[in-house]
Copies of this chain bind each other. A is one copy, B any other.
Amino acid sequence: MKTFNDLAELSNEEISALLELADRLDKHPEPHALQGKVLSLLFLSPSLRTLASFQAAMTRLGGGSFVISPDMSIHGLETRPGIVMDGAAAEHINEAIPVIASYGDAIGIRAFAERKNLEHDMAETEFNAMTSLIDTPWINMESAMNHPCQNLADWKTLDDLDVPANGGKFVLSWAFHPKALPLAVPASTLYTAARRGMDVTVLRPEGFELPEPVMQRARAAAEAAGGSVQESDDRAEAMQGAHVIYAKSWSSTRHYGDRINDQKLRNGLVDWCVDEPWFDNAKEDCRFMHCLPVRRGVVVSDAVLDGPRSVVIHEARNRMLAQMAVLHRMLGAGQ
């Protein structure tokens, strides 16, 4: 396993094997598996779970890691190609990334979408430019459109909870948030649920439709796996019989990169806060999932988040286990 960039790169057998490995490492620790191995962690965007869970994962396997973020380095990192660097940034990622990568057996990189131009972000221009500089194995810790570590953890969570792969109903719901957030989680989560064979509904207000290529990829994955993909702006309809609601805010695609009009549109949508009434016609034990961080009283009510539906802590812990499996596969003896 040389890269972990997108769940689509893995066969169903590979995903199953990774999830079995994650489970095994949870039950039967291997504290010497990666003795002396180093994971380089480069955060060009903020993090809590990813930062903590990757460090913990390496320690549990007997190795270690180090963290670099631009505010720790000399006056930040320049990312623009061909620029004359006479400003604040003293180092270019063209040097920083190969150097940081060269100290590790693998490297994880996080770099969120710029959120100026949708086509640009969907092409993963910056992220591809960065990973093209690396010779060692690497892991996508969230790029403009992908978050495979979250996806693998979420797949495990659905399995852990016995949510049916075929026949399970998964609602990916937009939620209110004061800021225009990236598309990485909703786009890759939609693909993940569809790929798992579930019946997926994207519940979102007008103006927040996911990009057509994202929808098409999900539809193709669903078709291959025996599932389906729908879209709706009607909560009651979408939540009918749902096993899971996965809440997440994201940018308006109608006004992508246009913060003023995005803000105007979302200002009218503060009632998109997941609350108990949303579950009226869902399965009785319908679960609430979220990748975290989540804003209480904004994205979801305290009642739902503190109640028995919420599996967000379980989901977050699965980040560590899923990543341990990936790291073991990449860097372990049987690699």
Contacts and interface: CB of A to CB of B under 8 A. Distances in A.
A31 B36 contact: yes
A285 interface: no
Contact of A293 (B62, B86, B91, B102): B91
Given A63-B59, A297-B85, A48 B96 contact: yes
Contact of A316 (B66, B102, B313, B317): B102
Contacts of A294: 91-92, 95
Interface in A68-91: 68, 72-75, 78, 82-86, 90-91
Interface string A41-79: 000001111011101101111111110100011110010
Contacts of A297: 82-86
B292 A91 contact: yes
Interface of A: 29-32, 35-38, 40, 46-49, 51-53, 55-56, 58-66, 68, 72-75, 78, 82-86, 90-92, 94-96, 98-100, 102-104, 178, 292-298, 302, 305-306, 312-313, 316-317, 320
29 contacts: A35-B62, A36-B59, A36-B60, A40-B52, A47-B73, A48-B68, A48-B73, A48-B74, A48-B99, A48-B100, A52-B68, A52-B99, A52-B100, A56-B66, A58-B64, A59-B64, A82-B297, A85-B298, A86-B178, A86-B295, A86-B298, A90-B295, A92-B294, A94-B296, A94-B305, A95-B293, A95-B294, A96-B293, A99-B317
